[in-house]
Amino acid sequence: MLTMLRVLVFRYVLIFIGVVAAALSLIVFLQPLDIAPAGAAGAATLLNELFDTPIGLMIFVLNIPIQALAYKMLPGGSRVILRTVMLIAVLSLMIDLLSPLAPKGISEDRMLNALFGGLLGGVGVGLVFRAGATLGGTSTLALILQRRFGFPMSTTFLCTDAVIIMGAGLVYGWEGALYAAIALFIAGMATDYVLEGPSVIRTAMIITDKPDEIAALVFANLQRGVTSWTIKGRYTGAERTMLYVTIGRSQARELKEEVSSVDPKAFMVIGMGHAAYGAGFRRVRGDAL
């Protein structure tokens, strides 16, 4: 019971920090320098420039038809949409209430504002996603299209972001559109980093004629488990052994040296990974967020 309460509190702390970060990204870095963010916030920013409408209020208004559609088309929509609408309302209020108090652009350099605005906004969205919630807008629309029609979410985001960038070009000029594109790109990278974390592990596939010797060295010197299976080359028809091992990022160089010392002719591919769960790595429980 105590663990569940702790997880719940931690989740809502993440959501609060994420909403604050997303709001400050818009009102401190992006909007004062005429840079449109992604999604409904970007559309609301453009409407503010054209008609002087409150940004937060317009974010809420633009989300009404999207959330109504999600209520009808997503399974279990009422529970999910209620939480999303509450977050949208909090974000909208926070933007309109903090806007008169926040500094209007820490720097006059639009590039710096695009970079830091995108970074802060991406971190905010990532924290909200990590807590199992969304800030609505195009993320909800992408979820609908994915679940009902099989459209990749990345395609939906690409289309909506392209519309926002074109709108920014028409309203702020095409230089403004370029800055908006930079902010969107940085925000996407920051969101991915928050969700997936740094690439801290490496996975290696080793095709060798000396699997026992290499596995013994990996066990002894790297303290990592090894999986092996017999494979057959389609070109030569020869049967060999492939080893699979997951290691820490700092162990990649040592692994290459160990393999080379035993079998200089071994074929090895080392790939990047974001996280590993199980013996010797993270526990699945406790990393749910």
Rounded percentage of the chain residues whose pLDDT exceeds 70 = 92
Q: What is the pLDDT of residue 234?
A: 86
Residue showing tokens 């809502």: 12
Q: What is the pLDDT of residue 141?
A: 82
User: Residue 37: which of 114, 139, 129 has the closest Cα?
Assistant: 114
Please report, for residues 43, 185, 231, the alpha-carbon distance to residue 190 in angstroms, rounded to integers and kept in the order given.
21, 9, 40
Q: What is the pLDDT of residue 1?
A: 65
Sign of CA dihedral 7, 11, 14, 16: negative
How far is C-alpha 263 from the chain's CA centre?
40
Q: What is the pLDDT of residue 288?
A: 45
pLDDT beyond 60 at 289:
no
CB 161 within 8 A of CB 184: yes
pLDDT band, residue 153 (cuts 50/70/90): low
CB neighbour burial string for 92-106, b if at least 16 within 10 angstroms, e if fewer: bebbbebbeebeebe
CB neighbour burial string for 185-212, b if at least 16 within 10 angstroms, e if fewer: ebbbebbebbeeeeeebbebebbbebbe
pLDDT band, residue 229 (cuts 50/70/90): very high
Dihedral of CA atoms 189, 77, 136, 153 in degrees, nearest 10, equals 40
CB 87 within 8 A of CB 134: yes
